[in-house]
């Protein structure tokens, strides 16, 4: 399955980002903060002040909630992963490199890009031998960037918008 989404040119944008396949919109995600001061003023100082993501897909809703604002601003961040308000896992940045580790009851995922190809992102299921779940690439001009993601058949039950949001989080990591 091939999906894509537009990357906002303003890093701390709070607008809805639509995940689309060839036919229609299949999900939406956006940045948010419950703190009004961070939402109105703080996001202009640093996009890490609005590092929470909410994802809405067919019949499910996910939240990536930042655990420690100060630590995210200074060092490696971590997020609590919630589905319909219930904690199902964690997302954390690796100390070195451009990698996010997603831990859920369905398994452990690795979202990474290599130094030689920073515009490309791979999502792998971490087993004895990594299993490719998705591969995406940033495309378009500076004024209209998009991200195309090809999902491979896999055993995970997460909707495609979930994987698109992971890629968005990886793009805006750090």
Q: Residue 36 — pLDDT band, cuts 50, 70, 90?
A: confident
Per-residue pLDDT for 137 more than 70?
yes
Calpha distance 159→174 (Å, rounded): 25
What pLDDT, on the 0 to 100 scale, is given for residue 9?
84
| Confidence (pLDDT) at 73 | 67
Percent of the chain at pLDDT above 90? 52
For the stretch 39-92, pLDDT in tens is: 787 777 767 677 889 999 988 999 999 888 777 667 788 999 999 999 999 999
**Tokens 């001009």, residue?**
141
pLDDT of residue 37: 81
Percent of all residues in the chain with a pLDDT value above 70, rounded to a whole number: 97
For the segment 146-159, the average pLDDT, to the nearest whole number, is 90
What local confidence, expressed as pLDDT, does residue 174 receive?
Answer: 54
Give dist(CA 117, CA 27) in Å, integer: 27
* CA distances to 41, 45, 117, 144 from 161, in Å: 28, 28, 23, 20
Check if the beta carbon of residue 60 is closer than 8 Å to that of residue 83. Answer: yes
Closest CA to 100 of 79, 127, 83: 79
Please report where in the chains the tokens 């991200």 appear, as a residue. Answer: 147
More confident residue, 73 or 98: 98
Say how far residue 2 (Cα) sits from the centre of its chain: 17
Supply the mean pLDDT for the chain: 88
């Amino acid at each position: 399955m091939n999906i894509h989404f537009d990357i906002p040119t303003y890093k701390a944008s709070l607008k809805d980002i639509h995940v689309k396949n060839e036919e229609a919109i299949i999900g939406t995600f956006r940045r948010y903060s419950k703190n009004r001061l961070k939402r109105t003023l703080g996001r202009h100082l640093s996009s890490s002040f609005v590092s929470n993501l909410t994802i809405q897909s067919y019949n499910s809703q996910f939240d990536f909630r930042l655990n420690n604002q100060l630590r995210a601003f200074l060092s490696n961040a971590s997020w609590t992963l919630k589905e319909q308000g219930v904690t199902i896992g964690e997302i954390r940045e690796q100390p070195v490199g451009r990698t996010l580790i997603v831990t859920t009851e369905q398994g452990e995922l690795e979202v990474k890009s290599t130094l030689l190809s920073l515009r490309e992102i791979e999502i792998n299921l971490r087993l004895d031998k990594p299993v490719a779940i998705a591969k995406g690439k940033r495309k378009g001009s500076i004024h209209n960037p998009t991200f195309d993601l090809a999902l491979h058949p896999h055993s995970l039950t997460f909707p495609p918008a979930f994987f698109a949001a992971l890629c968005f989080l990886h793009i805006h990591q750090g």
